[in-house]
Amino acid sequence: MIALLQRVSEARVVVAGDTVGQIGPGLLMLVCAEPSDGEVQALRLVEKVLKLRIFADDAGKMNLSLQDVGGGLLVVSQFTLAADVSGGNRPGFSGAAPAAQGRAQYEAVLRLSRERHPDVQSGVFGADMKLHLINDGPVTIPLRLS
């Protein structure tokens, strides 16, 4: 499973002009399932994201997790994280899970996140989405868990 985390002051996702998910301070997580992914990978990703210490403590050190600060989590599907540009200038996406599997894994990430964290919002799988965010720091962290 591939994810890209962005620590944000605020973020929202818009589909067809309507805001479908938004958070204040917290994390925006872009997620891409790979063909070998299942429930185990989804759980490992969620647990890592919720416990990753990337928020500042009182001394200004990145020492607090999303759960420690009570921030929001906005989860958005993003199959383009699996882009392969090694063969030319047009990306290939064969490294991403097929749509049905990708949807199932995205829904698993959402379910597991909501079971473990009180403020989880989401985009719409497969939709043309517009993301609005203010990256805090900036802090952007790529994750690849297999």
The residues annotated as belonging to the active site are 78-80
For residues 111 and 74, what is the distance between their CA atoms, to the nearest angstrom? 13
Strand ranges (E), 1-146? 2-15, 18-23, 26-32, 55-56, 62-64, 72-77, 120-122, 129-144
**Any idea what the Cα angle at residue 103 is, between residues 54 and 93, rounded to 5°?**
80
Residues 6+ apart with CB under 8 A from 96: 32, 33, 34, 79, 80, 81, 82, 102
